[in-house]
Amino acid sequence: MNKENVALQPVRGTRDLIGEDQRRHAHVIDTARRVAATYGFDEWSTPVFEDTRVFARGLGDTSDVVMKEMYSFTDRGGESLTLRPEATAGVCRALVSNGLTQSLPQKVFYAGPMFRYERPQKGRYRQFHQIDVEVLGSAEPLADAEVIGCGWAILQALGVAKDVVLELNTLGDRESRDAYRAALVAYFSAHKDKLSEDSLARLERNPLRIVDSKDEGDKRVVADAPTIHAHLTEAAAAFYAKLQDHLARIGVPFRENPRIVRGLDYYSHTAFEFVTSQLGAQGTVLGGGRYEGLVEEMGGPHTPCIGWAAGVERLSMLLAEPPPAPRGVAVVPVGEAAEAAALDVLQALRGAGIRAEMAYRGNLKRRMERANRIGARAAVILGEAELARGVAQLKDLGTGEQAEVPIAELVAKLG
């Protein structure tokens, strides 16, 4: 068989968004954008690819994403570029590049495609989409509460909050984490024979990552591992308590989960995940935490930050019903002489913000079939006799009722 004649398919781990899938996708992003705006977040857009160092610094040279999952390439100028695997590093780079570190805090909303080379599975693709919220330049627990509250409000607006639970933890400050790290190394060193190969490699380099291991043997060891709460400094404990007070006041329910950790050194204090049991193993639909040091990695000053990312695909799957397909108006000219007048009607309707279409050809029957096929709510029928009297036949395609309406009143009638 000639390969040139084989129908091409989407690349593995990607998909087309059409019809209901696209409406679900757009609804998640549009809802998040609207809710985030009420919280005072401004939308940013950064390039879909960056200097590879942006992500190598932001995610850590030894992270699984950097080592195994990034789509990196050398361009014709010899520069190493990477398709963004996440949004936060690019946002922090943009903060520095655009001289905004003198105008803090910055409250950022972000939406767009991300890219990771990983095994495609339910709700997870190699090109996937995220919504992000970041507060750059605030060290107060109130910022954490507001960021989490914004996420909760988006889940409520989408109608999926009933299927989602907020799990909360603290990573403490640097002193707390140093004490906790030492406790973890001591504990896991006594159970080396039960750890996976990956966890053994992480034992000295990044023991917090063992706590987050998905290996079943590791999970059994982790079940009895110490938690950070016994190692929190007085200041870190006060920060965590204040955050919980704020969440209670703004009505965000949560449960504590001491096993939520972040592997990179620049994460601190708050770590959280909104999880669901509706998507199988891929339970986290929105997660984030507080981080420090990332803006410095991009060449900026010390800047405390808090943010989260949510998977659009996973949120789309939680929607009980897709948003309805848009229902517009079909303009149906009868005879060539009516087409010019039909164009005037089309433009008037569109100018008033009313979705309107007209079949490019066909007799009355075929044009009406087209109107029903596109799900139009009404048809404006224009024949020579109607035009002579300055009227149109307006047919409700839901009820079948039809009435004569002056052309000059169509916009008001259909608006």
Q: Where in the chain is the domain with CATH 3.30.930.10?
A: 20-173+233-318
- pTM over cut 0.85: yes
Residue 222 has pLDDT above 70, yes or no: yes
Q: Is the pLDDT of residue 62 over 60?
A: no
Report which residue type is found at 120.
P
| Residue ranges of the chain that CATH labels 3.40.50.800 | 329-414
Q: Are 223 and 212 in contact (CB under 8 A)?
A: no
For range 391-409, the mean pLDDT: 95
Q: What is the CATH number of domain 329-414?
A: 3.40.50.800
pLDDT of residue 2: 57
* pLDDT exceeds cutoff 90 at 122: no
pLDDT of 37 above 90:
yes
Give the span between the Cα atoms of 31 and 53, in whole angstroms.
Answer: 33
Does 291 appear as a known binding residue?
Answer: no
Rounded to 5 degrees, what are φ and ψ at 334? -115, 100
The CATH architecture that domain 20-173+233-318 belongs to is: 2-Layer Sandwich (3.30)
Mean pLDDT score across all residues of the chain:
92
Q: Does the structure show a pLDDT above 60 at 279?
A: yes
Cβ atoms of 184 and 207 within 8 Å: the answer is yes
DSSP 20-64: HHHHHHHHHHHHHHHHHHHTTPEE----SEEEHHHHHHHH-TTSH
* Banded pLDDT at 56 (limits 50, 70, 90): confident
Known binding residue 134? Answer is yes
- Do 208 and 219 form a contact (C-beta atoms < 8 A)? no
pLDDT in tens, 128-154: 999 999 999 999 999 999 999 999 999
Annotation-wise, does 50 bind a ligand? no
Between the alpha carbon of residue 45 and those of residues 48, 88, 132, the distances in Å are: 9, 11, 11
410 vs 283: which has the higher pLDDT: 410
Question: Which stretches does DSSP call E strand in 206-339?
Answer: 255-256, 267-276, 284-291, 305-311, 329-333
Is 267 annotated in some ligand binding site?
yes
Is 88 annotated as ligand-binding?
yes
In 317-358, the DSSP E strands lie at 329-333, 356-357
Does the annotation flag 14 for ligand binding?
no
Element (H, E) at 176: helix 174-189
**Is 130 annotated as ligand-binding?**
yes
CA distances from 356 to 48, 346, 349, 361, 362 (A): 34, 6, 7, 16, 17
